[in-house]
C-alpha cells in the first residue's frame, strides 16, 4: 500500500465504472474519500441479499475507502466540497452528462480552484459528439462499442459478455489515465482533465475485431469457423473461435453439464503430438499424417471435422482429466471455470484473488482480490465504509474543522438530504 501513499482522491463516483477505478487506486495506497450524495451511492441498496446491509454490489467495489456525505445542493455542502478540492490530488466522477456543471463546478472552475488537481471523468460517450448527452450502463456500452455484434453465434442474437468490459473495463482505462496525468502533474505542477468514454473503452477492448473488419476488404477470415467472404463488411459473431491466428474451441467433456467444457487451442506446434495422442482412441491411428489436417491451412479449412474428432475423444473424460492429458503435450487449454469452481480453487486462494472480509452489517463475505501485484506495495484489502462513516474524521483530519464548525454545518444541512417538502 505504498505506491500511491500521500495521494488523496475526492471520489464522487458511483455504481460500478468509477468505483472500480478508485478501489484499485485505494489498493495501491491512495487515500480515497468517497464523497457521497447523502442518500448514498444507489448501489448500497441495489440487489440487496441481507436486509438493512450494504449490498455486495457496493461492498465489492468500495473497499479501503472513507465515506463522507455532503449535500451538493446546499451552499454549505458546496463550501465543504471546495475546501476538499483544495486538499486533493485527484477528483473523479461518473455522473450523467452535465451534473457537475449544474452544481456549478465544470472542469474550468475546478482547475481554477486547484490548478494542481487531476480530474477523471467517465461518461457513456464522452463530452463531445452526437451521443454526448446520453446516459449509459454496461450493456449499452457493450452494444455500442462493438462487443455485442461480435459475440454469440452467427445465427443467433447478439450477446453481452459476463465480464463487465463497459463498466469495470472503463474504470481500468481511467486508472491508467489518472496515473499518467499525476506523473505529468508532478513534473509540471499542472493538473489536467482525463476523460474516458465507456464506448471508447469497449472499442479499445474489441481492437482485434477491427483488425478483422479491415481484413475483410482483402479476403475471407480463414481462421473463422463460420463463413466469411471478401467485402462482407461486418465482422460476424464467431461463437467460441479463438480470435487469434491459432484455432481454438470449447470442447464438451464428461458428464456434459453446463460448465463441463475445456477450451483447447490447437496451436500449430502441438498438432502432431495432439493427433498422435487422440487418433488411436477415436479409431484414426494415422490422424497425425492425415492430409486433411497436415498444416494450419488444411486444419482451418476442415476445422469443423477437427473439432468433431476432438469432441469425440473428450466424451470419456472430465474437463480436468482432459486437461491432464493435454498439459504434458504442451497444448494450451483451460477448463471453463464456474463461479463455484473459482470460489474454491486452490490457485485462486493462493494468489489472494478471493478474500474473506468482515462487515459490521453483513458479517463474513468475500471479495475478488487485487489483480495487480506490486512487489514493494502489496495490497491490504479492508471492508467498504458505511454511509458517512468518516464524515467527521475527514472534516477534522483533512480540513482541520473544529467541533463547533462541524456542528454548525450539520445544523445547516451540509451533510444530509433536504427534508421532503409536502406537495
Ligand atoms: C450511471 C447513470 C446512468 C446513472 O444515472 P442517474 O441515476 O440518473 O444519476 P446521474 O449521475 O445522472 O445524476 C445524479 C444525481 O444525483 C445528484 N447528486 C449526486 N451527488 C450529489 C450530492 N453529493 N449532493 C446532492 N446531489 C447529488 C446529482 O445532482 C444528480 O441529480 P440531478 O440530475 O438533479 O442533477 C449516469 O450517472 C451516467 O450515465 N453516468 C456516466 C456513465 C457511467 O458511468 N455509467 C456506468 C455506471 S456503472
pLDDT digits (tens, 9 = 90+) for 136-145: 999 999 999 9
Judge whether 330 counts as a catalytic residue: no
In the predicted model, what is the mean pLDDT of residues 88-102? 96
Please state, in angstroms and as integers, the Cα–Cα distance from residue 390 to each residue in 28, 54, 323, 396, 413, following that order. 20, 16, 49, 10, 17
> Are 54 and 361 in contact, with CB atoms under 8 Å apart?
yes
Four-point Cα dihedral 408, 410, 412, 414, nearest 10? 130
pLDDT of the residue at 419: 60
Does the beta carbon of 39 lie inside 6 Å of ligand 1? no
Q: What share of the chain is helix, strand, coil (3-state, %, to 5)?
A: 40, 15, 45
Q: Tell me the three cell numbers of residue 58.
A: 457496493
pLDDT of the residue at 1: 75
The proportion of the chain whose per-residue pLDDT surpasses 90, expressed as a percent, equals: 97
Dihedral over Cα of 122, 125, 130, 136: its sign: negative
Q: Assess whether pLDDT exceeds 50 at residue 208.
A: yes
> Are 170 and 201 in contact, with CB atoms under 8 Å apart?
yes
**Closest among 359, 342, 338, 361 to 351, alpha carbons compared:** 342
pLDDT of the residue at 423: 40
Of 245 and 126, the one with more pLDDT: 126
Does the beta carbon of 94 lie inside 6 Å of ligand 1? yes
Task: Give CA–CA dist 388/327, Å, rounded.
Answer: 51
In the 8-state DSSP scheme, what is residue 274?
H
pLDDT digits (tens, 9 = 90+) for 335-355: 999 999 999 999 999 999 999
Which residue is listed with cell 479476403? 219
> Are 39 and 72 in contact, with CB atoms under 8 Å apart?
no
Task: Give CA–CA dist 328/119, Å, rounded.
Answer: 50
**Ligand 1 atom closest to Cα of residue 71:** 24
Task: Tell me whether strands 261-266 and 247-252 are parallel, antiparallel or unpaired.
Answer: antiparallel
Please state, in angstroms and as integers, the Cα–Cα distance from residue 55 to each residue in 42, 68, 214, 218, 310, following that order. 10, 18, 44, 51, 44
Three-state DSSP class for 179? helix
Rounded to 10°, the helix 207-215/198-205 angle is 60
Q: Which of 41, 167, 212, 260 is catalytic?
A: 167
Using most ligand atoms within 8 A of CB, pick from 92, 135, 201 the residue to mutate for ligand 1. Answer: 135
Does the beta carbon of 122 lie inside 6 Å of ligand 1? yes
Amino acid at each position: 500500500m505504498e505506491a500511491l501513499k500521500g495521494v488523496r482522491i475526492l471520489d464522487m463516483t458511483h455504481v460500478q465504472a468509477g468505483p472500480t477505478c478508485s478501489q484499485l487506486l485505494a489498493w495501491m495506497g491512495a487515500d480515497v474519500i468517497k464523497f457521497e450524495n447523502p442518500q448514498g451511492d444507489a448501489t448500497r441498496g441495489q440487489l440487496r441479499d441481507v436486509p438493512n446491509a450494504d449490498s455486495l454490489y457496493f461492498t465489492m467495489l468500495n473497499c479501503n475507502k472513507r465515506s463522507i456525505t455532503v449535500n451538493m445542493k446546499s451552499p454549505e455542502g458546496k463550501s465543504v466540497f471546495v475546501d476538499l478540492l483544495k486538499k486533493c490530488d485527484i477528483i473523479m466522477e461518473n455522473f450523467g452528462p452535465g451534473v457537475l456543471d449544474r452544481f456549478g463546478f465544470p472542469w474550468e472552475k475546478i482547475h481554477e480552484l486547484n490548478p494542481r488537481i487531476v480530474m477523471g471523468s467517465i461518461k457513456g460517450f464522452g463530452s463531445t459528439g452526437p451521443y454526448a448527452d446520453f446516459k449509459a450502463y454496461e450493456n449499452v456500452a457493450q452494444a455500442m462499442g462493438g462487443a455485442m455484434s461480435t459475440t454469440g453465434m452467427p445465427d443467433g442474437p447478439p450477446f453481452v459478455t459476463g465480464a463487465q468490459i463497459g463498466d469495470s473495463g472503463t474504470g481500468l482505462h481511467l486508472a491508467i489515465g489518472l496515473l499518467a496525468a499525476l506523473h505529468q502533474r508532478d513534473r509540471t505542477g499542472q493538473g489536467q482533465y482525463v476523460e474516458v468514454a465507456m464506448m471508447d473503452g469497449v472499442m479499445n477492448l474489441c481492437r482485434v475485431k477491427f483488425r478483422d473488419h479491415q481484413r475483410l476488404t482483402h479476403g475471407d477470415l480463414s481462421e473463422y469457423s463460420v463463413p466469411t467472404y471478401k467485402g462482407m463488411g461486418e465482422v460476424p459473431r464467431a461463437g467460441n473461435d479463438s480470435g487469434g491466428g491459432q484455432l481454438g474451441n470449447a470442447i464438451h467433456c464428461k458428464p456434459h453439464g453446463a460448465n463441463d467444457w475445456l477450451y483447447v487451442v490447437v496451436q500449430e506446434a502441438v498438432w502432431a503430438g495432439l493427433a498422435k495422442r487422440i487418433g488411436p482412441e477415436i479409431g484414426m491411428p494415422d490422424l497425425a499424417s492425415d492430409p486433411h489436417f497436415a498444416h494450419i491451412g488444411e486444419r482451418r479449412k476442415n476445422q469443423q471435422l477437427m473439432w468433431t474428432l476432438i469432441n469425440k475423444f473428450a466424451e470419456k473424460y472430465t474437463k480436468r482429466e482432459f486437461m491432464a492429458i493435454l498439459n504434458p503435450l504442451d497444448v494450451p487449454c483451460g477448463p471453463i471455470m464456474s463461479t463455484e469452481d473459482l470460489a474454491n480453487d486452490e490457485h485462486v486462494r493462493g494468489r489472494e484473488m478471493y478474500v474473506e472480509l468482515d462487515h459490521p452489517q453483513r458479517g463474513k463475505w468475500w471479495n475478488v482480490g487485487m489483480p495487480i501485484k506490486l512487489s514493494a506495495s502489496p495490497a491490504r484489502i479492508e471492508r467498504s465504509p458505511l454511509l458517512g462513516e468518516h464524515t467527521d474524521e475527514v472534516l477534522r483530519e483533512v480540513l482541520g474543522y473544529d467541533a463547533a464548525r462541524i456542528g454548525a454545518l450539520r445544523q445547516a444541512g451540509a451533510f444530509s438530504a433536504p427534508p421532503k417538502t409536502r406537495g
